Structure 1
Amino acid sequence: METGAAEKENGGAEGKRPLKERLKLWWDGYEIREKKAAPKIVDEEPPEDEGPPTVMGWAVSRQRSVVTLFGDGMIRCVPDDVKKRMTTPMGVNKTMSVAELGAGLGGFAQWVVDEFEAYVDAYESEEPLVDAGKELIKMAGQTRFIRYIHADFEDFQPKDHSANVVYSAEALFCVKNKELLFNRIHDMLKAEGQFMMSDYMLDGSGEDDPNIQKWFEAEPDRPHLLDVQKTRALMTKAGFEVSIAEDITAEYKANVLAAFADYARRTGRGEKSGHLHDWVLKEGELWTARVKAMESGSLKVFRIYARVPAKIV
């Protein structure tokens, strides 16, 4: 099928088909969007006494399952082209001190090291991910460049003026006290420092929206969402100049669709996922709830760029 015909058959780039129908296409292996080759699925024995598949916590099998979906070291859907769009505007280079908030298993941080030869402070709130991430960067020979730091983002305590650049991808939406967090991020940045984040937000709806409440039920941790304009206001109050607030919901949904389609295609071609398949299915339920909330129009994903203004002498 030609590319144009395939897009038409699938409802175009915006994904016009109903969610239920597109889910079936994912699991039937329909190629929704071209994607870089993902790591080969390894059929490993399940760890002892790990229990049934769950998205509560970060069991070893859950860590392995998200990596099969999203790539080496990735626990969220942040393809390389998205990483580039988040970092390129900030002019990241090897002379800068860089910090990631919500580093997961270190996939984004490793990409930054490979791309820019920069040093990265990788802040992560989940201890199992910190421990696993440290092992993975050790195996990758990047302990010189990446420093893992366990952090509580509700009471974030970074060193003041320790970073030129801070970035975060869909890692802060469960933080309740975002005003305090933005203040601390501002304080950790050096003069004229830059902050780029993407995350789940509201845009005109409220947390009492039935579609949002239904999504909350599927999340392992309770989200605390702000309207995008409220987010901008809090960042401005913290001392940032906010110059970009871009709705990337359509792009985000397309990337999630592509990740699951790629997994389905690979298993359809004979790659084995063994016991991990059940974990991937459980992960799929979580991501289905997220996408469904986006389909309703109640949940959005925004990318926001902010900087510390130059001091007037």
Structure 2
Amino acid sequence: MSIADDSQRKTKAGGKLPLGLRLKAWWDGYDLEVHRRLAAGDPTPGHEVRYERERLAWETPRIDLAQQLWGEGFNSPGEADQTRALIKPVGLNESMSVLEIGSGLGGSARLIAQEFGSWVTALEPNPGLAQAAAALSEKAGLARKAAVTACDIENLEVKRAGYDCILVRQALFGVENKLGALSAIAEGLKAKGQLIITDFVKGETAGPIYERWRNAEATAAQPWRAEDYSETLKELGLDLRVAADVTAQYREALVEGWSGFMADVGKQQLDAEQGQIVKEEAELWTLRKAALDAGELKLYRFHALSTRANKLLSDW
């Protein structure tokens, strides 16, 4: 019996579908309305006494959901494995400095600090995520070595020649002033510094699914095409070594995260607010997946090197 058939049977019997089952049905393609798990007056399951500590300001249901989907301290698909793969060619060590832009919950910044020993400065445009990331870095004892602060991505300021490696993670697709941001980033590289960018780009055709995704992202800015990034990085004097479509890997991690969550969601005690947030996030990620599947949206990786030479004393 399908979920839809089972739903009809229980509804006719006068039963109330648990919120977890409603969400699972919705994920599988059935449009079921999300209701409160326990209506007023419903008996509480069990009589055990539970103690819940006071939640901190940054511990929101949406941040909790992100970590359930993508892992503790992360907020995007496959972020930990992707970070290791992106950073491996750089050859980081304890003497090198890293700037991460679009650091989210700071999981990648802490991973780099812990596994490579490098000092990481992390910038996140979303103030709520930045606050949560800073708290998680402090909790991990990495408040200084993986520091996370909020930034104004439209008016980005980067320390000139300050970093051996700059990592930019899905941070520019919704930015109006992409050229200004990339110029500041290029100036932030040390001599022989390396720049790694992953970002959403327009596919060959941008149809209705793409427009629905853009509306859901609530951004007025248009993502660039992959060619726009390649040309701009070269115009900024960088040596572009890699421009690769990594959509398939990203999509695989996206599906894996959501499928794992939906397989267990029926076991969770979700209230109405949590259920609504799950549904909103699932709708956004479903649109993103649809745009990726249609080829109207892609994720690209760019790896470029600074061509700036070290200045000798005789040059001054």
TM-score (norm: length of structure 2):
0.77
**In structure 2, do the counterparts of structure 1 residues 243 and 174 end up closer, same or farther at CA, with 3 Å as the change threshold?**
same
2:93 maps to 1:113 = no
Partners of 2:255 and 2:52 in 1: CA distance: 25
Q: Contact (CA 8 Å) 1:64, 1:276: kept in 2 or not?
A: no
Pairs within 5 Å for 1:114-263: 114-206=114-206, 209-263=207-261
| Per-residue deviation, 1:271 | 4.9
| SS across alignment from 1:164 | strand
For residue 211 of structure 1, report the CA deviation from its aligned partner.
Answer: 2.7
* Partner amino acid, structure 2, of 1:158: V
Q: Is structure 2 residue 69 aligned with structure 1 residue 65?
A: no
Q: 1:176 to 1:295 in 2, by over 3 A?
A: same
Structure 2: 5+ residue stretches without partners: 1-24, 30-50, 312-316
* Cα pair distance change 1:93/1:280, threshold 3 Å: farther
Q: Which has the higher contact order (CA 8 A, sep 6+)?
A: 1
C-alpha displacement of 1:232: 0.6
Q: Is 1:288–2:315 an aligned residue pair? A: no
Alignment pair present for 1:24 and 2:28: yes
Q: Which has the larger radius of gyration?
A: 2
- Deviation at residue 221 of structure 1 after TM alignment: 3.2
Contact 1:47 1:61 in 2 (8 A): no
Evaluate the alpha carbon distance shift between residue 194 and residue 44 of structure 1 in structure 2; reply closer, same or farther with a 3 A threshold: farther
Alpha-carbon offset, residue 203 of structure 1: 3.6
Give the drift of 1:276: 3.0
Contact conserved, 1:123 with 1:150, CA < 8 A, in 2?
A: yes
SS of equivalent to 1:132:
helix
Q: CA deviation at 1:210?
A: 2.6
Q: 1:262, CA displacement in angstroms?
A: 1.4
Residue aligned with 1:165, SS:
strand
The equivalent position to 1:304 in structure 2, one of 283, 288, 302, is 302
Deviation string 1:183-204 (CA, Å, 9 cap, x unpaired) is 1101011001101111100243
- Tell me, in whole angstroms, the C-alpha distance in 2 between the residues paired with 1:277 and 1:68: 14
Q: Give the match's secondary structure for 2:72.
A: coil
Report the residue type matching 1:204 in the other structure: E
Residue by residue, what CA displacement relative to the aligned partner does 1:165-221 show, whole Å, maximum 9, x if unpaired? 011222221111111111110101100110111110024335xx3332121121133
Partners of 1:301 and 1:66 lie apart in 2 by 20
Matched residue type, 2:63? Q
CA distance in 2, matches of 1:93, 1:312: 20
Cα drift, residue 281 of structure 1: 2.3
Q: CA deviation at 1:242?
A: 0.8
- Taking the aligned partners of 2:225 and 2:122, their CA distance within structure 1 comes to 27
Percent identity of equivalent pairs = 27
CA displacement at 1:44 relative to structure 2: 6.7
Give me the CA root mean square deviation: 2.9
CA offset digits 1:120-153 (Å, max 9, x no partner): 0011112222222211111111113112232111
> Offset at 1:261?
1.1
Note if contact 1:66-1:283 (Cα within 8 Å) is conserved in structure 2.
Answer: no
- Answer whether contact 1:46 1:61 (CA < 8 A) is retained: no
**Structure 1: how far apart are the matches of 2:26 and 2:293?**
12
Q: Kindly tell me: are residues 249 and 223 of structure 1, through their superposed partners in 2, closer, same or farther at Cα, counting changes over 3 Å?
A: farther
Contact 2:247–2:299 (CA under 8 A) maintained in structure 1: yes
Return closer, same or farther for 1:108/1:229 CA change in 2, 3 Å cut-off.
same
Relative to 1, partners in 2 of residues 1:184 and 1:297: Cα closer, same or farther, differing over 3 Å?
Answer: same
Q: Kindly tell me: are residues 69 and 277 of structure 1, through their superposed partners in 2, closer, same or farther at Cα, counting changes over 3 Å?
A: farther
Which residue pairs with 1:265 in the alignment? Answer: 263
Tell me the alpha carbon deviations over residues 236-287 of structure 1, each in whole angstroms, 9 at most, x when there is no partner: 111111111111111111110000111123335x355555343222111111
Moved over 6 A (4+): 43-48
TM-score (norm: length of structure 1): 0.77
Q: 1:41-71: CA deviations, max 9, x gaps?
A: xx979979x9xxxxxxx98221111111111
Find the residue that maps to 1:309 and give its secondary structure. Answer: coil
1:81 matched to 2:81? The reply is yes
Displacement of 1:154 in angstroms is 1.1
